[in-house]
Amino acid sequence: MRKLGNTLYILSPDAYLSLDGENIVVQKGKEEIRRLPLHNLDGVVAFGYTGASPGLMGACADRGIALTFLTMHGHFLARVCGRELGNVVLRKEQYRVSDDAEKSAAVAKEILTGKLFNSRWVIERAARDYALRLDAEKLKQASRRIAESLKKLREAHTLEELRGIEGEAATEYFSVFDDLILQQKEHFVFRNRNRRPPTDNVNALLSFVYTLLGHDIASALETVGLDPYVGFLHRDRPGRISLALDLMEELRAVAADRFVLTMINTRQITEKGFVRKENGAVLMDDDTRKTILTAWQKKKQEEIRHPMLDEKMEWGLVPYSQALLLARYLRGDLDAYPPFLWK
């Protein structure tokens, strides 16, 4: 199993990244802010218009360190990629499956099975752990309806059918998401999922954390030799990491949504870290982003037991394990892609 490295997050748009020997150096003007050995990293994510030296970009490409540039709001700009990993046979099979509607639907069905299963257990666990503070019956009803969607999912055969069932289940899940917010209710209210731009504090948090999760999954896919831009559930669109978005579906609830709820419910973030613009968009300030990134890195180091592999690993390696299982399926080593099913 791959060793989990650290991800370096750069939030200052006026920072410059360079290479000094085997170290990445973060500078502001002529002042050195930080220095880290490259062998400790598996990713660098720069928010804003951070510059990077060609030497550093080449070193990251040679070592398989994902170097990703995003806007300050988390929108993708560019990714530095080195030599293609894996073999051409694996990617050609990925493209063949993606071009085959029936085979794509078979993979998408397993991915959405994971999404619905995990969404249901996020609700079930909340109903169990906070039975005295929540409307347990309301949560149980939502869980039962998602369970019914799971049954429908097994009988579906086309991508259109699968997307329709997933949409119904997502509506049920988000209908009780606000109930799972137990603290700071006056400032963190969830009515519906909105984005581009997010118009409330909760959606601003969700969008930001989804961006972090998407980066981790795209890097994992590249590591095992798959093309993160060619998906099965999400179809081809220029510049969209469709396969990363596919695998993110099964991990959204357990990895991202629960993390956001924890940040709110433990008061690690407050309403003071959010700003509403004239157009209604809600943005986070730098301190809030730093708090989230520190907690996210810590979360990735927590140990779990993988339900299918029956192996202890850090949360941060789950995207890699799922990418590896998908590659094994495409190679023909597995009869079906096994989604991550959390309890």
Q: Are 44 and 10 in contact (CB under 8 A)?
A: yes
Q: What is the pLDDT of residue 72?
A: 67
The pLDDT value recorded for residue 232 is: 94
Residue 175 has a pLDDT of 92
Per-residue pLDDT in tens (0 to 9) along the chain, 343 residues: 455 557 777 777 788 888 888 888 888 888 888 888 888 777 787 877 678 888 888 888 888 787 878 776 666 677 776 665 557 888 999 999 999 999 999 999 999 999 999 999 999 998 888 877 888 889 999 999 999 999 999 999 999 999 999 999 999 999 999 999 999 888 998 888 887 788 889 999 999 999 899 988 988 888 788 989 999 998 888 778 899 999 999 999 999 999 999 999 999 999 898 888 888 888 888 899 889 988 998 898 888 888 887 788 888 888 888 998 999 999 998 999 999 998 7
pLDDT the model gives residue 253? 93
The rounded Cα 104 to chain-centroid distance in angstroms is: 21
Which pLDDT does position 1 carry in this prediction? 46
Question: Can you give the pTM of this predicted structure?
Answer: 0.81
Give the distance between the most distant pair of CA atoms in the chain: 62
Q: How many CB atoms lie within 10 A of CB 113?
A: 19
pLDDT at 84: 56
What per-residue confidence (pLDDT) applies to 302? 87
3-state secondary structure of 69: strand
Per-residue pLDDT, 118: 95
pLDDT of residue 61: 82
The phi, psi pair for 54, rounded to 5°, reads -60, -35
For 145-166, b/e burial (b = at least 16 CB within 10 A) is: bbeebbeebeebeebeebeebb
User: Which H helix or E strand runs over 76?
Assistant: strand 76-80
Report whether 315 contacts 304 (CB < 8 A): yes
Q: What is the pLDDT of residues 11-38, one digit of tens each?
A: 777 888 888 888 888 888 888 888 888 8
